[in-house]
Amino acid sequence: MKHDHDAVLDMWADGVPSQIIGRKTGIMPEYVRTIVIRARKAGDGRAIDRPRGGLNKFSISTKAHKKFADEADRRGIGELELASLILESVCDGDLFDAVLDDGE
């Protein structure tokens, strides 16, 4: 089966996480990363090196991460961009108490 490597690399260059690229293209995320690594070795500028892990660095549950990834996908943006938008909104509106129910 031949996959559209250009579509994968274009999305990668736009910051789309491998999980979402995989969902959009029907390719396993591990193979998305293989395409990127091979393209990087071949000198393709779209195959930029970027930190792995995304929101998983925050140790959120698998269920929450799926909802978050789905929302980012619905909006057509990457997970880190969505996280930035949410954090910016919470900070700008001083919405910590509205978002967190921690008794503080």
Query: In tens digits, what is the pLDDT along the chain, a chain of 104 residues?
Result: 578 999 999 999 888 888 888 888 999 888 998 999 999 999 999 998 876 555 545 566 677 788 888 998 899 888 888 888 898 899 889 999 988 876 55
Give the span between the Cα atoms of 41 and 16, in whole angstroms: 20
User: Residue 45: what pLDDT?
Assistant: 94
Q: Which of 5, 15, 6, 96 is nearest to 49 (CA)?
A: 15
User: Residue 104: what pLDDT?
Assistant: 55
User: Residue 56: what pLDDT?
Assistant: 47
